[in-house]
Homo-oligomer: A and B are copies of this chain.
Amino acid sequence: MTSDTGVHARAGRLELDSSLTADGPSAFDAVISPDWGMKSTPNGGYLMSLVLRAMGRVFPLHDPLTATAHYNEQTEIGPARIEVETIRVGRTLARGMARLIQGDRERMRVLAAFGTLPAASGHPLYSVPRSFDLAPLDECTAVVVGTPDGGRASVREHFDVRYDPSSIGWVSGAPTGKPQIRAWVRASDGSEPDRHLLPVVVDALPSTAFDLGVDTWVPTVELTIHQRARPAPGWLQCAWDSTLVADGMLEEDGQIWDSAGNLVAMSRQLALLPRSAGSSS
């Protein structure tokens, strides 16, 4: 087991709320915080971040390059155990799997490949220009969005989020009809974005489906995140889009760009849309 080599200017709230106590070389006792969720439901990105932190402590390579989480059933606030399996360690990739367990129930499973993230090079062989529009920061709207049923979404209180007004029509009762979220995001405690924060960012904001007039919970079935570079300090510029919302399912594709203009993470999740939420078929 090697130490976590993450570099922080100082410990942020996420790190403080992600404590892991090793129990042998590949198992950890953790406590699922009540402060990173939607009402009593822990945020899927927070859980992903916690599990990846555990895996990164077991493997000799510490950065999650690609990680897929399956949410088998709802994780509860409180004690949990994380068991990490090493599948294969090579020179550039360390592969493994982890289970998040509460009592005798496996709540979540993660399959991932770890490596070493580059500093954003600024000299890629190819990068698309940022293809989404995002209004300037001072034209965006700071609003803390609660749960669909008016509850507290504590996970969002850790972020300073400035929404492009064109992507949150539903906030003022006028859904745009376009399943898009556009926002500037940074941690509200002043900590800078890193490999631990990005998995939370990709899952913390409201669903793209809200601007289709959907106002229910949209539980994640599966979430995959590719991290491609260590983000520069500063505001993140983020976009989520859905391509197809049909037959009780939707996918959400996320992009996170850092303040230096580099694409640092891509995410895709498949989520359940309650049939009552307006499928017209």
Contact = CB atoms under 8 A, between A and B. Distances in A.
B228 A244 contact: yes
Nearest to A243: B128
Contact of A244 (B224, B248, B263, B281): B263
A80 interface: no
A113 to B, nearest CB: 5
Interface string A262-280: 0100101010110001111
Interface in A83-134: 87-88, 92-93, 95, 97, 106, 109, 111, 113, 118, 121-128
A68 B222 contact: yes
B127 A273 contact: no
Contacts of A279: 123-125
A127 B281 CA distance: 13
Interface string A216-252: 0000011010101100000000000011111111110
Nearest to A128: B243
A275 to B, nearest CB: 10
Contact of A113 (B65, B97, B179, B221): B221
A102 to B, nearest CB: 14
A72 interface: yes
Contacts of A124: 244-247, 279-281
Contacts of A66: 221-222, 270
Nearest to A127: B244
Nearest to A212: B126
A44 B266 CA distance: 22
Interface of A: 65-66, 68, 70, 72-73, 87-88, 92-93, 95, 97, 106, 109, 111, 113, 118, 121-128, 177, 179, 212, 214, 221-222, 224, 226, 228-229, 242-251, 255, 263, 266, 268, 270, 272-273, 277-281
Given A121-B246, A124-B247, A126-B246, 6 more contacts: A92-B248, A111-B111, A123-B246, A127-B245, A224-B268, A243-B266
